[in-house]
Amino acid sequence: MDVLKKLFERHFHSPVGRVEPLQGQLGGSGRKIIRLAGERLSAIGVLHEVREENVAFLEFSRHFRRHGLPVPEIYAEDLSHGAYLEEDLGDTTLFEFLSNNRDGENIVPQAVEAYREVVAVLPRFQIEAGRDLNYKVCYPRASFDRQSIAWDLNYFKYYFLKLAGISFNEQALEDDFGRLTKLLLSAGHDYFLYRDFQSRNVMLRDGRPFFLDYQGGRRGALQYDIASLLYDAKADLPPELRQELLDHYLERLAGFIALGRDAFMQHYYAYVYVRIMQALGAYGFRGFYEGKVHFLQSVPYALNNLRWLLGHVKLPIALPTLMHAFESMADSEKLKSLASGAEMVDSEKLRRLASAAGHVTVRVFSFSFHRGGLPQDEAGHGGGFVFDARSLPNPGREARFKTLTGKDAPVIDYLSQHESVHQFLASATSLVEASVSDYQRRGFQSLMVSFGCTGGQHRSVYLAEQLAEHLRGSNGVEVVVRHLGLENVDK
């Protein structure tokens, strides 16, 4: 907090008279958002430990302002302490304005007009400002590529489908994911993808929209962002308004590029589906896995969107297993009840996923690629899984983490703030769980899983501990953990 006060006083040459924590820090990003006010001036201070996200937000903000886009001015920054100060855009989000100006599906004209203005600005971000953007600072990926899509799909599968108890054929679902990914990547994707273009990330000040939270932006397809806005779960826009706003967007888009409506629509609903899945994965992780039940209140709204899509949209490819999972979700009485909180989630029960009767010992290792190399197979099964965590954010680069390990709270907090870490873990866990179930069914008794990173101290240790903790609640599973990198240090 002191660093924000210093930034404020240095920029405004005025002392801080009032400090007000804002609700933004209660969301899923891990950032602390604070309003600082002096006698006449105010600003928003942000504290966030993920340097790469901070760099992306600050550089994007300055770039967008050079293009005349309505984003906050950056007043001051101190990246060494994960802090920056930005323009105060008030307290009214587009979502709040919509909520206060509707009666069910009857939305006042002023709210509709606000949405139309937001939609009209989107092509300027995607195309005008996207042409000369520095994509080298994008985090965690420079583009919405095959890896990004795989992360989102596995995030949905692991943190939502499995924890919500929706049954599916693992291999058949993976086959559908492969077909869906191929379709998504066949769309033009040399544009700026905002990534989280939704009603809570738009502020209204004096009736004008201002835009926030684009630090996850990257190259991608045009369809993703407009799908994010129009199928924003709790905004619950009526289908007729969604269509009106989509038409308005396409009219504005035509002023920037020659892309026919049919060509755009060929991929549009595939992006609607993948955005809904990404959001459900986030709701599931925060709600089912972390026990923050208020995140689950968005689930029934997302299910309403899925029901509409199932009844009105036909994709150009067949995805039978995925569509069956959606139908099961739409019919689930348990999921329907989440909006009212009528059914509390038994997170321990939901986390017992591998319940076959056979006994399997899962040996989980962490190790260093630079010291000692791959763990030796102790059971004669050929080594099992080896996951390379070196693509993930590295706490070892920061002095404050040098003497700590992936079992220490500060390192756990740092890594758990990164979506890429959760998605990596979700993908790995999904593969391991499938093998555990298969081993139990076939009577195999030992599975080896290894996580490696540069030093074998932070990322690999964290991932091994997280997987081990998850598997310990499974019937018929014994978990043994060894941290080879830490053992070598101890010696």
The pLDDT value recorded for residue 56 is 96
Same domain, residue pair 175 and 263: yes
Same domain, residue pair 134 and 242: yes
Residue 441, domain member (yes or no): yes
pTM for this predicted structure: 0.78
Same domain, residue pair 336 and 417: no
CA-closest candidate to residue 272, choices 252, 302, 247, 234: 302
Same domain, residue pair 438 and 483: yes
Which of 58-67, 71-80, 110-119, 463-472 comes out lowest in average pLDDT?
463-472
Note whether 476 and 356 are within 8 A (CB). yes
Q: How confident is the model at residue 381 (pLDDT cuts 50, 70, 90)?
A: low
Count of the separate structural domains present in the chain: 3
Domain boundary among 46, 70, 87: 87
Report pLDDT digits (tens) over 35-60. 999 989 999 999 998 899 999 999 99
Indicate which CATH number applies to the domain containing 189: 3.90.1200.10
Domain boundary among 59, 87, 115: 87
Same domain, residue pair 172 and 205: yes
Residue 110, domain member (yes or no): yes
Report pLDDT digits (tens) over 292-331. 778 888 999 999 999 999 999 999 999 999 999 999 999 9
Q: Containing domain of residue 78, as a range? A: 2-87
Higher pLDDT, 128 or 488: 128
Q: What is the rounded average pLDDT of the residues 72-87?
A: 97
Residue 40, domain member (yes or no): yes
In this predicted structure, the answer to whether residue 4 has a pLDDT above a threshold of 80 is yes
Residue 465, domain member (yes or no): yes
Q: What is the rounded average pLDDT of the residues 205-230?
A: 97
Same domain, residue pair 184 and 107: yes
Same domain, residue pair 377 and 291: no
Type of residue numbered 195: R
Indicate which CATH number applies to the domain containing 50: 3.30.200
Q: What is the rounded average pLDDT of the residues 117-144?
A: 96
Which of 126-135, 210-219, 441-450 comes out lowest in average pLDDT?
441-450
The pLDDT value recorded for residue 371 is 85
Q: Which residues contact 63 (CB under 8 A, 6 or more apart)?
A: 129, 132, 133, 134
Backbone Cα Rg of the chain: 23
Same domain, residue pair 342 and 397: no
Residue 351, domain member (yes or no): no
Same domain, residue pair 76 and 130: no
Same domain, residue pair 230 and 378: no
Same domain, residue pair 98 and 238: yes
Residue 355, domain member (yes or no): no
Residue 432, domain member (yes or no): yes
Average pLDDT, the chain: 90
The pLDDT value recorded for residue 384 is 86
Same domain, residue pair 213 and 285: yes
In this predicted structure, the answer to whether residue 30 has a pLDDT above a threshold of 90 is no
- Distance in angstroms (rounded) separating the CA atoms of residues 12 and 7: 9
